[in-house]
Structure 1
């Protein structure tokens, strides 16, 4: 299992079973760096502000990787002063808050990122992790969006199986666990014991259909 998820494109949030971990998400491509939420590229002074904000985000990522979370938080805040629509800055602030167990702040930051880009799968994933215990139905809905868009999202399938099992939806949970393990066999150890046999041998077509039912939004 990957020990660090996509976090520092951005800081990623807590993942996997009882022992949650975080990671950074990949930075946007050069062509996308100066594109606004509306899909147009700013020009003149506005473009300079967006580029400066991107530089600050990258600086924040480096600080985060060096465990300077106070400095990283400051860099992301400064980036947002220049470009309030920088989804990566909002996302990384969410990860820092989540790491510090400030759940409400983390969720608010992820919501800001998702308002800018509703298909930002890393923010969807981290928000789902936050909601797994408090609003399982909402977490299931978010995780289904992720696996519906990316059938290879093994860890999302693992959490989907856990959430479905918590709701007593064992048949669906078996399918989700099965797909998680086929996509990443190292996840077998995290599957609850009562589902391990089925996750190891269940039909891949059945599991894939779970992803189809999950939806297509990412």
Structure 2
């Protein structure tokens, strides 16, 4: 590892510690230093986006997520957070981003599908929303309570024959 890369990594780790220690300004300074050393560091861009999003600086958050996604178009955390950021203001764009996140990484499938279903339901796209909620509940039945009430009966897992009981 080059000295420059080592320094960037040290600043990144410092930024993470500061962020975890609830020092967003210090963390942002560390991430900015990382980017001075390595302008293509997706994690620094992503974390700057998280800080901006937490502070309500939507435009800054979106710009930082976009920079992370230019470097790594399949960076699912940035995709997911940007979709959440756009959920109310640009729901169609948020839907597209969540679909990209699901395609890029099946591990985010359940959380992304739940958010996708919620956005679709808000947009009166009930058939599509129901499909997403059905997939969410099939993968994680405990999330049924997160599904809007009007969809719960139609997406509830049906009991298997052993769960339905037997007469023996």
Secondary structure, counterpart of 2:156 in structure 1: helix
Query: What's 2:91 paired with?
Result: 136
Q: State TM-score, norm by structure 1.
A: 0.68
Which of 53, 58, 61 lines up with 2:16 in the alignment? 61
Query: What's 2:54 paired with?
Result: 99
What is the Cα deviation at residue 190 of structure 1? Answer: 1.5
Query: How do 1:103-182 and structure 2 match up within 5 A?
Result: 103-152=58-107, 153-182=109-138
**Contiguous gaps of at least 5 residues in structure 1:** 1-33, 35-46, 203-218
Query: What's 1:187 paired with?
Result: 143
What is the Cα deviation at residue 147 of structure 1? Answer: 1.7
Q: Does 1:79 align with 2:79?
A: no
Query: How do 1:17-28 and structure 2 match up within 5 A?
Result: none
Cα distance in 2 for residues equivalent to 1:111 and 1:149 = 16
What is the Cα deviation at residue 178 of structure 1? Answer: 1.4
Query: What's 2:165 paired with?
Result: none
Secondary structure, counterpart of 1:201 in structure 2: coil
Q: How many residues align?
A: 157
Query: What's 1:51 paired with?
Result: 6
Larger Cα-atom Rg:
2
Query: What's 2:45 paired with?
Result: 90
Q: RMSD across aligned C-alpha pairs, in angstroms?
A: 1.5
What is the Cα deviation at residue 59 of structure 1? Answer: 1.1
Deviations for 1:46-68, whole angstroms, at most 9, x for unmatched residues?
Answer: x3212211111111111111111
Cα distance in 2 for residues equivalent to 1:109 and 1:195 = 35
Secondary structure, counterpart of 1:125 in structure 2: helix
What is the Cα deviation at residue 146 of structure 1? Answer: 1.6
